[in-house]
Amino acid sequence: MAVTRTALVSGANRGIGFEIVRQLARLGVLAVIGARDTDEGVAAAEKLKPEGLDVPVVGLDVNSEDSAVNAVAEVKRIYGRLDILVNNAAILIDEPGGFKASLFDLKADTLRRTMETNLLGPVRLIQAAAPLMREQGYGRIVNISSGAGQLSDMGSGYPAYRMSKSALNALTRIAAAELSGGNIKVNAMCPGWVRTDMGGPTAERSPEEGADTAVWLATLGDDGPTGGFFRDRKPIAW
């Protein structure tokens, strides 16, 4: 009998995370909205009801270890297993100037807060989810990274965010290596420049397009890649 897969997506009350949940649910995955404000998570889930998609919400603040552990435990309580983890929640708070922010204006607190959410958040969730995935002999972990973190194309602008995404890429490689051999695949992806609160209204891609590669990685077959970095379902340089 085919196993129905379950998924937890962080920061899924809006933007790309919300769209990943929608696309996974359409594929029949029991996807769960992780939201630090559960009212916002419930409001997001309501938006999927007209499509016939009934999606649960769990409270998840990736800045809190307890919250990460509890969210994974809650998915296990609801569905008995956790097959897919999408580390999507992130912040871009570099200033002044947002994308134009300079290294020489970077405050330690900005870097600390960015790393807390964009790097430590995924570390916490991977640590919480991996034992379950090992037990199940199945897991798909998708880290939503960014071209901004590519060392091969590193440049100026928004330094805290860039460093956090390079570190997330390193985490992807480390987790893939440590979890190899148990049918657990860990990959990173770049969604492109997407029209969300973070990407802004002039970005070139829709959330639907931005979510596509993440959903593909979340549902990889057993012969799929691990430890890779992808955009548009194709490998890209680190």
Site for ligand NAP, residues 70 to 129, rule: CB under 6 A: 88-91, 117
Site for ligand NAP, residues 1 to 40, rule: CB under 6 A: 10-11, 13-17, 36-37, 40
| Active-site choice (79, 138, 158, 161) | 161
The 10 Å CB-count burial string (b at 16+, else e) for 79-94 is bebbbbbbbbbbbbbb
Task: Provide Rg for the chain, Cα atoms.
Answer: 17
Distance of CA 68 to the CA centre of its chain: 13
Give 3-state DSSP helix, strand, coil % of the chain, rounded to 5: 50, 15, 35
For the bound state, the minimum distance from the C-beta of residue 4 to ligand NAP, rounded and expressed in Å, comes to: 25
Site for ligand NAP, residues 39 to 68, rule: CB under 6 A: 40, 60-63
For the bound state, the minimum distance from the C-beta of residue 61 to ligand NAP, rounded and expressed in Å, comes to: 4
The one segment of 22-30, 75-83, 104-112, 197-205 that binds ligand NAP by CB under 6 A: 197-205
Number of residues that bind ligand NAP (CB under 6 A): 30
Strand bridging mode 229-231 / 234-235: antiparallel
For the bound state, the minimum distance from the C-beta of residue 164 to ligand NAP, rounded and expressed in Å, comes to: 8
DSSP annotation string for 32-99: EEEESSHHHHHHHHHHHGGGT----EEE--TT-HHHHHHHHHHHHHHHS---EEEE--------SSGG
Question: Which residue number, 91 or 179, has a Cβ lying nearer to ligand NAP?
Answer: 91
Question: Which residue number, 113 or 173, has a Cβ lying nearer to ligand NAP?
Answer: 113
Q: Contact, 130 vs 184, CB < 8 A?
A: yes
Question: Which residues touch 207 (CB under 8 Å, ≥6 apart)?
Answer: 15, 16, 18, 19, 194, 195, 196
Question: Which residue number, 137 or 201, has a Cβ lying nearer to ligand NAP?
Answer: 201
Catalytic residue flag (residue 161):
yes
The one segment of 24-32, 71-79, 133-141, 188-196 that binds ligand NAP by CB under 6 A: 188-196
**Enzyme catalytic residues:** 161
Residues that bind ligand NAP (CB under 6 A): 10-11, 13-17, 36-37, 40, 60-63, 88-91, 117, 144, 146, 190-191, 193-194, 196-199, 203
